[in-house]
Amino acid sequence: MGGAFLAAAVLARLGNRIGLPTIPLFILAGILLGPHTPGIALVDDPHELEMLSLLGLVLLLFYLGLEFHLDDLKEGGRKMAVAGAAYLALNVGAGLVFGFLVGWGTSEALVLAGVLGISSSAIVTKVLMDTGRLGNPETKPILGIIVVEDIFLALYLAALQPVISGADSLASAAADAGKAFGFLLLLAVVARWGTTVIGKLIATKDNELLVISFLGAAVFVAGVSEWFGVADAIGAFMVGLMLGSTGSGKRIMELVHPLRDAFGAIFFFAFGLSIDPGDLPSVVWPVLIAVALTLVMNVVAGLVAARIYGFGPGPAANIATALLARGEFALILATMAAGAGLDERLAPFIAGYVLILAVLGPLAAGRSAWLARLLPGGEDRALTASSTAPSAAGARSPEAS
């Protein structure tokens, strides 16, 4: 553990000197010091860090819930649902078509649809924090799309499990999906009408007791969520949503910050441990085609979301690049596919695809202004800004931020 933290820290410090984001460097540390590369292997079995890695994911999404207030959901719920549905239709649809064109099988195509269609909540959250965009207007649709994706994720996993495992019981699949949706609905009801009671239960002047209380609540609900067939991360997100609206919300955000950073780093390090670079050459062309397809679909989805919200090319580029990364959900699907005995090419394909986008996503998000210039209206705005620069020196537009 000490070696993992230090390796991640050293690489991240070196990366900061040349302007690289921390996420791909944490992943690179895991690859270099894992069991699949020559040299020192700090961890022989990636599962040894599984619990700490899951805790990192839970804390990342818990913090995201603290940032995402209930008022945002009430005010923009319809737009978020439309933007999220559009994103899923474009990306999951493209993934399904890609899966059938690859020709590995119907069950494999369904797995690939999920892999190509769902963003990494953990990486998206970290990207928004690293780029300082949590307060930007376009962050609301980004977070809304993540919420819609996580709800879809819970239902998709429940429906996919019996399909790829060869089960023919539609009633069983429907029961699992109903159980997951019912639990999500229960969490939403508590978040909407139980905030006052929760605020009284969590309130304390003692920071030690407050840390133990919110950490216990986040991890406990995450575990119960998983038992009901809902992603543990969305359970933690809902707890953050509840606690963020209480009188203790600001203190909780300050106290969870160092925990989120530490265990978030372990999540990405453990992600790197699971990648075997030696398996990648056999699927290099399908991986590159899938990456190119995802880039195109994310740009289209970013333009659609921006149009729904009335944003210009700058926010559209921010939406497209922030949601680009794929991660934990793809790895879950890879595990399910391996357990069901599906095509053995799936595992290295998913590893290569996720690795490229996990690196490319944060890099693209930090340079989204380049994409904005290529989008419709981007050049006109750039010319207008340059022509008015002398009279508006020192002014900073909302899109530039």
pLDDT reported for residue 161? 65
More confident residue, 347 or 111: 111
Mean pLDDT of 132-148: 86
Contact, 218 vs 58, CB < 8 A?
yes
Supply the pLDDT for residue 167: 53
pLDDT top residue among 383 and 292 = 292
Q: Which long-range contacts (CB under 8 A, 24 or more apart) does 282-288 make?
A: 282/345, 282/348, 283/345, 283/348, 283/349, 283/352, 284/352, 286/102, 286/345, 286/349, 287/349, 287/352, 287/353, 287/356
Mean pLDDT computed over 313-321: 93
Which position has the higher pLDDT, 344 or 93?
93
d(CA 5, CA 13): 12
- pLDDT, residue 193, reads 85
Tokens of 277: 């670079």
Gap between the Cα atoms of 268 and 25, Å rounded: 9
Say whether pTM exceeds 0.85.
Answer: no
Question: For residues 40 and 33, is the Cβ–Cβ distance under 8 A?
Answer: yes
Please give the Cα distance from 217 to 200 (Å, whole number).
14
DSSP assignment, residue 40? -
Percent of the chain exceeding pLDDT 90 equals: 30
* Phi, psi (rounded to 5 degrees) for 281: -55, -30
**Does residue 361 have a pLDDT over 50?**
yes
Report the pLDDT averaged over residues 289-311: 95
Task: State residue 395's pLDDT score.
Answer: 39
**68 pLDDT higher than 50:** yes
297 pLDDT band, cuts 50/70/90, is very high
The pLDDT, as a whole number, for residue 241 is 85
Q: Per-residue pLDDT for 64 more than 60?
A: yes
Helix 313-322 × helix 139-164 angle, to 10°: 30
pLDDT at 320 over 80: yes
More confident residue, 317 or 388: 317
